[in-house]
Structure 1
Amino acid sequence: MVKRIIAKITDIILGILVTVYIILEELVWENIAEPIYTFIHGLAILQKAEAFIDRLDRHVLLVLFLALFTQVELLGIFALKLIGTGKVIAGTALYAGKIPVAAFTFWLFRVAKEKLMTFGWFKQAYDIVISIIEKIKSSAIHQSIAARLKAVKEWLKIRMSPTKLYINKLIETLRS
C-alpha cells in the first residue's frame, strides 16, 4: 500500500517535471530561443568573439560560463516560482526575458565546449546531465506526456506562428 502511494506521488512529480520540461524548453526553444540563437550565431561580430573566446584561458571560460549558466537557471527557477504562486504574467515575462541570456550561454558553451571538457568534474557533470535527459526522454512517462501534449504543441505552434514570423522579420530587418 505504501509503495503504491509512493509510486503514485513519484509519477505525479515526474509528470509535472516532464510537462514543465516539454512546455518551457522544447516549445520556447523551438519558437523563440532558436531564432534568437541563429541570429546571434550569424552576427559578424561574434565571429571575432569566437576567436577571442578561443584565446581565453580555460579557467576564465569556466567562470564566465558558470556565472551565465547559474544566472539563467536561477531566473528560470524564480520564473517557475512566480508562475506557481499565481503570478503567471510576471513569471512568463521573466522566463521570456532569460531567453536571450540562455541563447548566448548556449552559444558560449558550444564555442568553449572543448576547453570546458578539459575539467574532469565538468565533463562528468555534463555526461550525467545528458544521461539524465536521455533517460527522461526515453521514459514511459515522458512518452505518455509527450503524446498527450502533441496536440497542445501543434495548437501552440499555430498560435505562436505569428510571433515566430515577427521575430524572423525583426532579425532580417536587423541584419540589413
Structure 2
Amino acid sequence: MRNSLPKVASLALVAGALLLPAVPASATTAPATAVKAVQDDPFSVFDVTVKAPKKVKAGGRINYTIHAVNDGPHYADAWFLGGQFPKGVDLKKIRYRTSIADTECFLDGRAFYCFANKVLEKGESVTMVFETRLTKKAKGTQTATLGIISYDVQTGMENMSKEELDRLGIPEHGYAKTVKTKIVR
C-alpha cells in the first residue's frame, strides 16, 4: 500500500523515539492537548447517505442502500460498510450487491459488516445495497443504523481483520445514519 503523510510521520516519530536518548527533565515538550488533537484527526472522513423504504408489510423486503464518499484528507484502505440491522430483519437472509468484486461480509450479533479490499481515494465513493427480509412477526417501527467504519491503519496493517484492529486499539471513526421503516399490516 502507499504511504500517506500521516502514516510516514507516525513511523518517523516512532523510529525517532526509539533512536534518540531520553530527554532531560528540564527540556520543554509540546502540550499534551496539541499532540492528542493530531492523533484524533481521522485519515479519511466520509459523507454517508442511507436510503430505506418508509413503509413495508410484515414479511416483506427492505433494501438498504448505503452510499459513502471519501472526503479525505487521505485515501482510505481499511473500511467496513454495514451496521446494526433492525430486530425484525432475518439476519440469515441478508444479501448484498456492490460493484466491488473482492468483498467479504460477516455477522456480529445484530450487526452485519462488509470489508472490500479496495483503496478509496479522496473523492471516490462506494455504494452497497443490502437486501433483507422482515420476519412475519415484525411490528412497529424498525430502526437501522448503517454506514461506514474507517480505521487509521499504519503501513503493514492493511490486511488485519476488524477484530484484530479493535483488539490493538487502532483508531476507528464511524459515519452512520439512522433510518426508520414503519411496518404496516
Q: Fold-level match, TM-score > 0.5?
A: no
Decide which structure has greater strand share: 2
Decide which structure has greater helix share: 1
TM-score normalised by length of structure 2: 0.25
